[in-house]
Amino acid sequence: MEFNEKLQQLRKEKSMTQEQLAEELFVSRTAISKWENGKGYPNIDSLKSISALFSISIDDLLSGEELISLAVEENRKNIKKLSSLIYGVLDLMGLALLFLPLFGQPDGEGVQVVNLFAFKDASSITRAIYFILPISMALLGMVELATQYFSSEKWLNAGKLASILLQAFAIFVFINTRQPYATSLVFMFFMIKVVLLIKGKY
């Protein structure tokens, strides 16, 4: 007997509706319906709750293949959340562009490297873009960290895509305005994200 059939049987033996079971497990009725229709499995925490509620071991709830499938899926979700967390932290670190001496400006016959607040050798539009980029990265980073509390892969993927596009744009801006130090820092963050993206596909 498959998990979905076992869950249905256990629920009916206790004369519980899907809504009542959902309340006991602190999940939505839709989740219960999905599990009972064989369209997915509960996460580890929900499995433990089901096991305790019906006094049945997890081994009796799931077959060997189902356990492996669940473990693989849980691992995949955890890796995606971890990579999204790293994206958020890297984007927050974009604030370093405001404070680190990464911007070169002519100083007599040489070039002085200063932070963004002391940087004067650019038009007001360029300086505004320089300020907007790290602030946008940091705001995006905060959003990415906040979405960790939601299990929607759609939002996690959207955050990653926005993060990569924003940093690609920042690299383009810094290269075109000849700021090698700022370019190097953002490029390093960008490459870490690309590696995580590639690794996440396998």
The string of pLDDT tens digits covering residues 92-122 is 999 999 999 999 888 877 888 899 998 887 7
pLDDT of residue 165: 95
Torsion sign over Cα 126, 127, 132, 133: positive
Span between the terminal Cα atoms of the chain, in Å:
32
Q: Within 14-63, where are the H helices?
A: 18-25, 29-36, 44-53, 58-61
Distance between CA atoms of 34 and 138, rounded to whole angstroms?
Answer: 37
Contact 130, 116 (CB under 8 A): yes
Domains, the chain, in order of start with CATH, read 3-62 (1.10.260.40), 75-200 (no CATH)
For the stretch 28-48, pLDDT in tens is 999 999 999 988 888 888 889
pLDDT of residue 151: 58
Banded pLDDT at 150 (limits 50, 70, 90):
low
Instruction: Give kind and range of the element (H or E) at residue 9.
Output: helix 3-13
For the stretch 68-100, pLDDT in tens is 777 787 787 788 888 888 999 999 999 999 999
Checking if the pLDDT of 149 tops 80, the result is: no
pLDDT of residue 16: 93
Distance between CA atoms of 192 and 116, rounded to whole angstroms?
Answer: 24
The structure tokens 């370019």 sit at 183
Largest CA distance in the chain: 86
Instruction: Give kind and range of the element (H or E) at residue 1.
Output: none
Predicted model pTM: 0.69
The answer for residues whose C-beta is within 8 angstroms of residue 55's C-beta and 6 or more apart is none
